[in-house]
C-alpha cells in the first residue's frame, strides 16, 4: 500500500539522485530506457525506497503482459502504471501494485474507464487530469478503488484540492513542488 500524499514522478537521472536523498519512499519512474530500469530499481531498494514503473512510458519494452512480467520478475519493480488491461492483469498476477491510468475527457471515457476498473480491480486508479471536481465520488459510486490524481498539478493549492476531494495521493513531475511539500 502506498502511504504518502505526493508521488514524485522521476524521468531523469538528476531528479532520481535528488529523490534518493529525500524523505519520500515511493516514486514513479518514466521516460527512462529499459536498459537502465534494473539499476534504477536496485538503487531505490538499496535506499529503502520503492519504484512504480510507468509501463506505457518506458522506452525499449512493450507495455503488454510480457513486458510487465519482465518488469515485475526480473527488474523487481514494486508497482506498475498502465492504461493497458493486460499490463494491469500481469502486474496483479506478479504481486506488483497495479495502477490503472485513465484519462477523463468526457462521459463516454468515464463510463469506459469505470467498466475497465470494475473488471480489472487494480490496486489504484490514476485519474488525469487530477483537478476534476467530484470525480472521486463519481468513481466510487461504481467501484471502490483508491484514486491517485495526476496531470496539471501546478501548486500546493492544487494538491490540497485533490486530497480534500478524496484522492489518496497526487503524482507530479514538478520537482520544486514535491520538494517544497516535503520540507
Lowest pLDDT segment from 29-33, 44-48, 76-80, 172-176: 172-176
Summarize pLDDT for 51-110 with one digit per residue, the tens: 999 999 999 999 999 999 999 999 999 999 999 999 999 999 999 999 999 999 999 999
| CA atoms of 10 and 16, how far apart (whole Å) | 6
pTM: 0.96
Domains in the chain: ranges and CATH:
6-182 (3.20.20.70)
Q: List, in sequence order, every residue forming a beta bridge with 56; answer none if it has no partner.
A: none
Summarize pLDDT for 133-157 with one digit per residue, the tens: 788 999 999 999 999 999 999 999 9
List C-alpha distances in Å: 50 to 11, 57, 119: 15, 18, 27
Please give the distance of CA 120 from its chain centroid, rounded to a whole number. 16
| CA atoms of 9 and 27, how far apart (whole Å) | 6
Amino acid at each position: 500500500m502506498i502511504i504518502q500524499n505526493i508521488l514524485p514522478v522521476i524521468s531523469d537521472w538528476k531528479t532520481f539522485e535528488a529523490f534518493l536523498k529525500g524523505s519520500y519512499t515511493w516514486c514513479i519512474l518514466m521516460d527512462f530506457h529499459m536498459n537502465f530500469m534494473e539499476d534504477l530499481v536496485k538503487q531505490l531498494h538499496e535506499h529503502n525506497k520503492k519504484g512504480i514503473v510507468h509501463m506505457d512510458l518506458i522506452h525499449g519494452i512493450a507495455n503488454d503482459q510480457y513486458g510487465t512480467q519482465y518488469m515485475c520478475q526480473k527488474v523487481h519493480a514494486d508497482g506498475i502504471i498502465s492504461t493497458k488491461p493486460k499490463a494491469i492483469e500481469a502486474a496483479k498476477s506478479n504481486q506488483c501494485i497495479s495502477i490503472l491510468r485513465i484519462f477523463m475527457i468526457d462521459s463516454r471515457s468515464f463510463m469506459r474507464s469505470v467498466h475497465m476498473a470494475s473488471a480489472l480491480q487494480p490496486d489504484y486508479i490514476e485519474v488525469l487530469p487530477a483537478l476534476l471536481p467530484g470525480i472521486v465520488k463519481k468513481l466510487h459510486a461504481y467501484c471502490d478503488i483508491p484514486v491517485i490524481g495526476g496531470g496539471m498539478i501546478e501548486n500546493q493549492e492544487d494538491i490540497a484540492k485533490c486530497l480534500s476531494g478524496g484522492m489518496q495521493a497526487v503524482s507530479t513531475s514538478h520537482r520544486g513542488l514535491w520538494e517544497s511539500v516535503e520540507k
